[in-house]
Amino acid sequence: IRAYYAKYRNGNALTKDFRREMETASGKDLRAFFDQWLLNPGHPVISGSWKFDAKTKSVALDIRQEQPRPFHCVLEVELTGPIGQKIRTRLMLENKAQNTSIPLDFEPISIKLDPGVNLLFDGNLARK
């Protein structure tokens, strides 16, 4: 950010200029990120459901992206147990619908999407 500010202070810059500076600083190609979050309309709309399987000691988590095109992003999930146990895991969202199984030593009383509020999205999760 400092390099970007220094280069464009008191001047004009385009989104592509900002992207180029961020790519230089990170050493990564950020085209997909900028296309997804800045150049195309919309944001993730996530819905889903979950169910605990006592036999396998795991949570089956079904996630759906309801918007027209799926976003590629990380979604953190927090599972809370009956005596306050908390486990956080991260899921890579890439498709319109995804199913995953999360091994767990306790039956959760709640599951929260994005507990750290890192992702711009609308969503809800229901127990089956």
Residue 51: which of 126, 114, 113 has the closest Cα?
Answer: 126
pTM value is: 0.85
pLDDT value, residue 100: 97
Q: CB atoms < 10 A from the CB of 102, how many?
A: 17
Pick out the chain residues at pLDDT < 50: none
Placement of tokens 């999760």 in the chain? 125
pLDDT value, residue 127: 96
Q: Is 17 helix (H, G, I), strand (E, B) or coil?
A: helix
